[in-house]
Amino acid sequence: MKEKVKAFLQNRGIEVEDVGTHNEESVDYTDFGKEVAREVSGGAFERGVLICGTGIGMSMVANRFPGVRAALANDLFSAVMSRRHNDSNILVMGGRLIGDTLALQLVDTWLETPFEGGRHQRRLEKMDIE
């Protein structure tokens, strides 16, 4: 799934930095979640995409970083709302829960959906831990 998402993004002219994994061996998903979240948190990437078995663990890891709003979206409505109301900057998908076709639809929808701002901006600001 990762390779298909990567090709989809590159075909749209989006620069992709693939942080792994690069083979079929068992890995600790946390290492990859931290890498993407660190780069988004630090401003090196505007957005990121994470894929693991269910997406739950990746979401938990990524959201530990300041400024990261990682959203688990395994359906189109969640992808849309994560952008409209929450200005999500990392899309997380569960590779064992969705197929490749839906994954590409989710990425496309997520990329194309703007943040509405307004009252949602105020709510985002309240998310930061003081």
pLDDT digits 0-9 by tens, 8-23 = 999 999 999 999 888 8
Which residues, at least 6 apart from 66, have a Cβ–Cβ distance to it below 8 Å? 41, 128
The tokens 């890891």 sit on which residue? 61
Which residues carry out catalysis? 52, 85
Question: What is the secondary structure of 15-56 as a DSSP string?
Answer: --------SSS---HHHHHHHHHHHHHHTS-S-EEEEESSSH
In the structure encoding, which two tokens stand for residue 86, read together?
């929450």
Q: Which CATH class is domain 2-10+29-127?
A: alpha beta
Q: Is the pTM of this model over 0.85?
A: yes
pLDDT digits 0-9 by tens, 24-82 = 888 889 999 999 999 999 999 999 999 999 999 999 999 999 999 999 999 999 999 99
Enumerate the domain spans of the chain.
Answer: 2-10+29-127
Per-residue confidence (pLDDT) for residue 130, from 0 to 100: 60
